Chains A and B, each alone.
Chain A
Amino acid sequence: MSSTLITKRWRTKKGYLYLQEDECKGCGFCIEFCPKDVLRQSERFNVKGYYPPEVVDADACVSCTFCQLVCPDFAIWSTKDEEIEETDHG
């Protein structure tokens, strides 16, 4: 939750996909249920010792926002181009 976390951001076809790896608790919900197979489990672990997701195909992401709704740790979310201004808080 801290804004001093490093956030990874991928450009997707419709907008952006954001991931805060160190928030992730490796539940696997986003990886398993992403309708476009954008994600897989990485082989690295984060600061908590969990294996966060990694993006294998950013172009496949359509910002359906399923991952952002289902993630129990507020670690991943996506935006559509019209909403871009809302999420980047300086």
Chain B
Amino acid sequence: MLRKTETLPEPELLDNITHPMRRYLRTDRFPHIWCSGCGLGTALSCFTFALDELGLDDSNTAVVSGIGCTGRMAGYLNLDSYHTTHGRAIPFATGLAVAQPEKKVVVFSGDGDLFAIGGNHFIHAARRNIDMTVLCVNNFNYGMTGGQFGPTTPIGQRGTTAPYGNYENPFNLPYLAASSGAVYVARWTTLDARRLKQAMIEALTKPGFSFVEIISPCPTNYGRRNRLGDGLDELKYYAERSIIQHGADPKDADLYPGSDVIVGRFIDRDRATFLSQYEEQIIEKQHFVKPQGMGKGPVRASGQTS
């Protein structure tokens, strides 16, 4: 009902209008499964606008995700998308990236998937500096399975398997990424939408292993169990505490209840990538020919590519 004595501006009513980023989305899969107030839709939105701004050929970008709410990302993107097993998006993406070195491979997955079961794969891909972009949506719990605590749950916070409060020290993701060898490390909340989009652009453009931690509310589970209100309240909670410190030392980016949420671009450095070192040390030194067929399809026994 219109509030009395008000005239709101009248809109035109149109049909057949599609969202500007529609081409990046599998619209036949919408509406997505994410809850009202969840930041995953924002992360997806920023990603599509980042792809658009980069003008990348969307046939040459692949997304690999794991299992969990964030793991559903692959299903909504109209790219070559791979929804793999829990924790194993990164090694799958490694195989894909090595087979198609000229293309962009993005891993989009959650905190538990990437850092609990997937932790080992994360550090090795970073160590090797595989050319891929890892976007981790951190909502501090295992949301899809009901809100169990995970390796990024701040100390003292509750989860369904931490009924008295989590007593395990969590990972500091930017610190872990940086010390494992990532060449680009950034953290933003889903409220920092524009800066997040920009970070995605930088991460995608940078050769080597790039990592962006995306802090998101989880109103249905983590936020509710920790009395952080609804999605908007939880987002404000992170936003009020966030301080932008570009170039900050990642070891200072710990998160605990009441802490500042340090955000920004922490690491942006150059290191030889896995394939560039393969080329330099193996191909060139041994006088082999550069991998034929890589990027083109199966190599035939005769050496011809398809």
Contact = CB atoms under 8 A, between A and B. Distances in A.
Direct contact between the two chains A and B in their complex (CB within 8 A): yes
Interface string B11-30: 11111111111100101001
Interface string B189-207: 0110110010000000000
Interface stretch (B35-43, B91-99, B152-160): B35-43
Contacts of A43: 1, 3
Nearest to A67: B193
A5 B18 CA distance: 9
B105 interface: no
A43 B230 CA distance: 19
Nearest to B6: A56
Given A1-B30, A26-B36, A70 B9 contact: no
Contact of A33 (B15, B21, B191, B197): B191
Contact of A3 (B9, B16, B231): B16
A58 B14 CA distance: 17
B274 interface: no
B14 A25 contact: no
Given A1-B22, A25-B36, A27-B36, A70 B13 contact: no
B32 to A, nearest CB: 8
B9 A9 contact: no
A66 B36 CA distance: 18
Contacts of A5: 15, 17
A86 interface: yes
B25 to A, nearest CB: 7
Contacts of B11: 8-10, 19, 55
Interface string B43-83: 01110010000000000000000000000000000000000
Contacts of B32: 73
A29 to B, nearest CB: 6
Interface in A49-90: 50, 54-59, 65-66, 68-74, 77, 79, 86-90
Interface in B167-206: 190-191, 193-194, 197
Nearest to A61: B9
B299 to A, nearest CB: 40
Given A32-B232, A87-B20, A74 B45 contact: yes
B241 to A, nearest CB: 16
A68 B3 CA distance: 27
Contacts of B256: none
Contact of A29 (B12, B35, B44, B232): B232
A69 B42 contact: yes
Nearest to B28: A1
Contact of B8 (A4, A54, A86): A54
A3 B16 CA distance: 5
Interface of A: 1-10, 18-20, 23, 25-29, 32-33, 43-44, 50, 54-59, 65-66, 68-74, 77, 79, 86-90
